[in-house]
């Protein structure tokens, strides 16, 4: 998040409560066909009652998978409880192994956070999260020189390092130049050092999976800029304030479930609306593929929950 960002923070009453969220899952989303869930952000570890929320979602018989994406700041204190509650898969952001570079990327505002995140990763590994994935957004001139060091984390540990092409969403100064490193360029660096073969890891995301020969973990490449995958996207996003969106970057089709729920709209009617939105997703995916993912979008990724 940029140091000079001027963000309008939501008040607590504007969020879906845990009871409201669970009601929508149980009576609307699961009956509409949802069975795989990811808690993401913003930052999910900041949510009040998170462990109880995880336990409730994991207990639904229809839940086939439950995972989380986190910045790892509070993971040391919460990893054990989350694992015991039923969370098994976790993605942790780790954009650099150099504390100074890491702090530059996240905007540390005078306090280094790298060690706190690294300790959280170690704790998550120790309590048994598997697969444990590390998300690396590669930014030219910032952390692209660390690709081999980060890839090496997958050799001795069953860690899965995922290299993500930087999306210059809401960063107007980057629209005039290429602000990302192509995944194929990264793969070539790794091939030249160790070789690279096709790999496999649990999950349903957009990453192309490879593996250094003999490594315990894998390497994933998410190539939304150089190899756009909008046409095969299988995600829907329910925001903390209750909007259900088939695409993070296209708000032309969305449903305000929170307002409808609080206004007394019946759950069957809400489910019918969700099913209509699901039916429209393939067309939305196609339009995003054709238009490109960086179009004129006014908000940054920190604001849209990227």
CA 222 to CA 69: how far, in whole Å?
A: 15
Length of the chain: 306
Closest CA to 134 of 189, 89, 166: 89
Position 177 scores a pLDDT of 55
Angle between helices 75-85 and 114-127 (to 10 degrees): 30
Longest dimension (CA), the chain: 60
Say whether the peptide bond before residue 131 is cis (omega within 30 degrees of 0).
yes
The Cα 254–Cα 236 span in angstroms is: 10
Closest CA to 88 of 108, 106, 103, 66: 66
Q: Rounded to 5 degrees, what angle do the CA atoms 252, 255, 256 make?
A: 120
Q: What is the pLDDT along the chain (306 residues), one digit of tens a residue?
A: 555 656 666 677 789 999 999 999 999 999 999 999 999 988 999 999 999 999 999 999 999 999 999 999 999 999 999 999 999 999 999 999 999 999 988 876 667 899 999 999 999 999 999 999 999 999 999 999 999 999 999 999 999 999 999 876 655 454 345 678 999 999 999 999 999 999 998 877 789 999 999 999 999 999 988 888 888 888 999 999 999 999 877 777 899 999 999 999 999 999 999 999 999 998 888 887 776 655 445 556 666 655
Helix, strand or coil for residue 70?
strand
Q: What tokens does 148 get? A: 């081999």
Q: Write the DSSP string, 51-68.
A: HHHHHHHHHSTT--EEEE
- Non-local CB neighbours of 33 within 8 Å, separated by 6+ positions: 278
Residue 14 CA: distances (Å) to CA of 9, 11, 39, 131: 10, 5, 18, 34
Strand order in the sheet with 243-245: 237-238, 243-245, 255-256
Res 301: pLDDT: 60
The strand order across the sheet containing 36-39 reads 36-39, 65-70, 89-93, 132-138, 159-165, 218-222, 208-211, 197-198
State the pLDDT at residue 198.
95
Whole-model pTM?
Answer: 0.90
Let me know how many helices (H) and strands (E) the chain has, helices first.
11, 11
């Amino acid at each position: 998040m940029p140091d000079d960002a001027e963000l309008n923070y939501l008040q607590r009453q504007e969020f879906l409560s845990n009871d409201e969220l669970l009601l929508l899952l149980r009576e609307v989303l699961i009956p509409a066909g949802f069975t795989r869930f990811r808690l993401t952000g913003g930052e999910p570890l900041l949510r009040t009652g998170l462990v109880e929320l995880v336990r409730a979602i994991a207990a639904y018989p229809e839940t086939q998978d439950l995972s989380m994406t986190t910045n790892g700041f509070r993971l040391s204190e919460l990893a054990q409880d989350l694992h015991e509650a039923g969370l098994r898969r976790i993605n942790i952001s780790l954009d650099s192994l150099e504390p100074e570079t890491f702090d530059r990327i996240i905007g540390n505002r005078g306090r280094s956070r790298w060690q706190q995140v690294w300790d959280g990763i170690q704790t998550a590994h120790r309590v048994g999260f598997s697969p444990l994935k590390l998300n690396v957004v590669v930014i030219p001139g910032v952390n692209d020189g660390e690709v081999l060091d980060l890839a090496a984390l997958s050799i001795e540990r069953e860690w899965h390092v995922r290299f993500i092409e930087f999306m210059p969403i809401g960063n107007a100064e980057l629209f005039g130049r290429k602000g990302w490193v192509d995944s194929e360029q990264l793969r070539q660096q790794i091939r030249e050092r160790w070789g690279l073969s096709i790999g496999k890891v649990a999950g349903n995301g957009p990453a192309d999976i490879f593996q250094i020969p003999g490594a315990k973990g894998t390497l994933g490449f998410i190539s939304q800029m150089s190899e756009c995958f909008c046409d095969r996207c299988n995600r829907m996003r329910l925001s903390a304030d209750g909007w259900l969106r088939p695409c993070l970057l296209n708000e032309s089709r969305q449903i305000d479930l929170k307002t409808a729920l609080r206004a007394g709209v019946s759950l069957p009617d809400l489910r019918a609306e969700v099913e209509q939105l699901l039916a429209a997703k393939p067309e939305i995916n196609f339009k995003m593929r054709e238009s490109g993912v960086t179009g004129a979008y006014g908000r940054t990724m920190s604001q849209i929950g990227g």
